[in-house]
Structure 1
């Protein structure tokens, strides 16, 4: 990884630069009407699975507010931003004096993004408000995502949410709002977004220049789960092939061939430059284990449910450790899959 821009998936566009948004008309209508009424909440928690357009929605709304700082004279319809406008160009380039995009910082020494948003990053928000304290403009903070805040950073954000500066707006994104501090959730107005429908997902992919072939359509949409980022990982990073290889390993009888195929899978997931596909596989594997745990519990097999829950927790911990310390992932994959297969 060479810099922060590498956080954007191949084929995707940074949300700040994206003009197209699909599947969230109702949310846009709500935000437009609420803002025009002058009663828009100072902190909005935009919830939903990863890759469905939460950040794009936040930037769309932020551009609307910056383009129409007087709420009562603003249109109640949030139109796509004007790419030629000064505020859009400033927001897209990260040079806006009225908006700060809070994300995990890039570690130049390690050559990768840090695993969390730190309190030092949140202090940037405090300086942002201090430097613009005499301004009558809106000052917008996009927290992307609140799931990435470490405990100190979360507490620092909480203080700002409890005592927001004048004409400050927080757009807080979360893939898993149930895991946030209850006090953060209580200070925000929840705005849940749904995964994209198949037609909207196809439109979003076409806007990025991808045509979905008829032969791959069913498998792609089934695995993507209404997420553009998941679809891109399936198409551009070999995700479909990885999942098919994994299913093949699971379906084989124990023995030499199964182990050989598992080794090939583990090597592919630990190869140089495989960060994105490794994370994709790990997320899918963990979801599968968690689904098995729920199914076992519902069927009354509590020991199996407990074992699957423990395996899920252990795998998450191993993955976090491997990312933090740049450990070899091959053995992590081997051990996790064998634990899943053989207990």
Structure 2
């Protein structure tokens, strides 16, 4: 069993900064279909030993995994008979249930959490999940077998398994221990071993709608005035939305869109002011976010030109601006190519520690040049 967070001063590797840990998240919004699919398998007696929970970061995969773990460990097995309880219709388990309390404290003896562990010095987390951590899980299954009943393992995230760890986990999936359910969380399942994917049943979680986004953020203690805009910028990810909200991403994107309304005659003083916001100590998060927002704007513009569909507005004036910049597929190709070029330039600039303000200003000027070229 993993160590209690109180005994480990390092941040938990499976917890998003500024958000509660998924085991402490009471409600899961917008994923009714995935919950229903698991419950149907449970009630029909077709409970698979391996489940792969997929979807973008921050849509609730880990929260669902912990809900499933609580449900499996707190729900008594159906022994049949005339007085057998009715099949459960929800994964919900009371917060006062002893299993729920033990899980919150990371002291449930039938649950194993596989995540990145400490390095050899014990002063930092490893960059990936090592084979040693998987061996601990295998030993846990062997030692807990005598207790009988169900056992659950959560792998958060399977994307972080190194090659040896992935192969070791594959062996467990190929020869699963009796009574074990393994819940693998993956943000990019295409990068997993095909054999791991083939031995798991997939639960695909979807990006949250604006109403669900608003409720989820409120439950996490964040209030957003425009949930539709936030859903657009975050891709329906609550984790991304909390990060964007913490850096005033909605305001930053509105400022970026307002600047782009001056294309193809970019207001250079305003562009320089925007670039300067990313300079100095403590501005690293704003710098990263601004690069992401620039890339997002270009992607939204290219997609609109290619499909002829203007996305829901994420900032005042964005719809009219995108329609003007990308009226046809030819313009869409220009913006798509520029997004790829600027993305590569941003990665190189970060690698050589280029001045953030200079990098951002250069990107803005290149967008201005592209806008001028699009008019010729």
| Interval of TM-score (by shorter of Structure 1 and Structure 2) | 0.7 to 0.9
Name the counterpart of 1:18. Answer: 25
- Residue 339 (structure 1) shift: 9.4
Match status 1:97 vs 2:90: no
**3-state DSSP of counterpart to 1:266:** coil
Deviation per residue, 1:180-203 (Å, 9 max, x gap): 222221111111111122222222
The 1:111–1:311 alpha-carbon spacing in structure 2 relative to 1, beyond 3 Å, is: farther
Name the counterpart of 2:192. Answer: 180
Deviation per residue, 1:136-171 (Å, 9 max, x gap): 132211112222223332222222212211111111
Structure 1: which 5+ runs fail to align?
Answer: none
Once residues 235 and 179 of structure 1 are traced to their aligned partners in structure 2, the CA distance between those partners, rounded to angstroms, is: 30
The 1:96–1:287 alpha-carbon spacing in structure 2 relative to 1, beyond 3 Å, is: farther
The 1:312–1:41 alpha-carbon spacing in structure 2 relative to 1, beyond 3 Å, is: farther
The 1:87–1:313 alpha-carbon spacing in structure 2 relative to 1, beyond 3 Å, is: farther
Note the 1:283-302 alignment, pairs <5 A.
283-284=292-293, 299=329
Residue pair 1:289, 1:312 contacting (<8 A) in 2 also: no
Deviation per residue, 1:23-75 (Å, 9 max, x gap): 12222222122112221111111111111111111111111100124156673
- Residue 206 (structure 1) shift: 2.5
Once residues 42 and 34 of structure 1 are traced to their aligned partners in structure 2, the CA distance between those partners, rounded to angstroms, is: 11
1:153 to 165, 176, 189: 165
- Residue 241 (structure 1) shift: 3.4
- Kindly indicate which of the two structures has a greater share of residues assigned to helix: 1
Note the 1:162-181 alignment, pairs <5 A.
162-181=174-193
Residue pair 2:93, 2:100 contacting (<8 A) in 1 also: yes
Residue pair 2:52, 2:202 contacting (<8 A) in 1 also: yes
CA RMSD of aligned residues (A): 3.8
Once residues 113 and 331 of structure 1 are traced to their aligned partners in structure 2, the CA distance between those partners, rounded to angstroms, is: 32
Name the counterpart of 1:243. Answer: 253
Match status 1:227 vs 2:244: no
Name the counterpart of 2:5. Answer: none
1:330 to 356, 361, 375: 356
Give me the TM-score of the superposition, normalised by structure 1.
Answer: 0.78
Deviation per residue, 1:221-242 (Å, 9 max, x gap): 3323322222212222322234
Note the 1:46-85 alignment, pairs <5 A.
46-71=53-78, 75-85=87-97
2:130 to 101, 106, 118: 118
The 1:292–1:235 alpha-carbon spacing in structure 2 relative to 1, beyond 3 Å, is: closer
Name the counterpart of 2:323. Answer: none
Give me the TM-score of the superposition, normalised by structure 2.
Answer: 0.72
Deviation per residue, 1:313-338 (Å, 9 max, x gap): 6756876x69xxxx788389549836
The 1:80–1:328 alpha-carbon spacing in structure 2 relative to 1, beyond 3 Å, is: farther
Q: What is the aligned residue count?
A: 331
The 1:225–1:255 alpha-carbon spacing in structure 2 relative to 1, beyond 3 Å, is: closer
Max radius of gyration: which structure?
A: 2
The 1:173–1:288 alpha-carbon spacing in structure 2 relative to 1, beyond 3 Å, is: farther
1:36 to 30, 43, 46: 43
Once residues 144 and 159 of structure 1 are traced to their aligned partners in structure 2, the CA distance between those partners, rounded to angstroms, is: 18
The 1:290–1:208 alpha-carbon spacing in structure 2 relative to 1, beyond 3 Å, is: closer
Structure 2: which 5+ runs fail to align?
Answer: 1-8, 308-328, 371-376
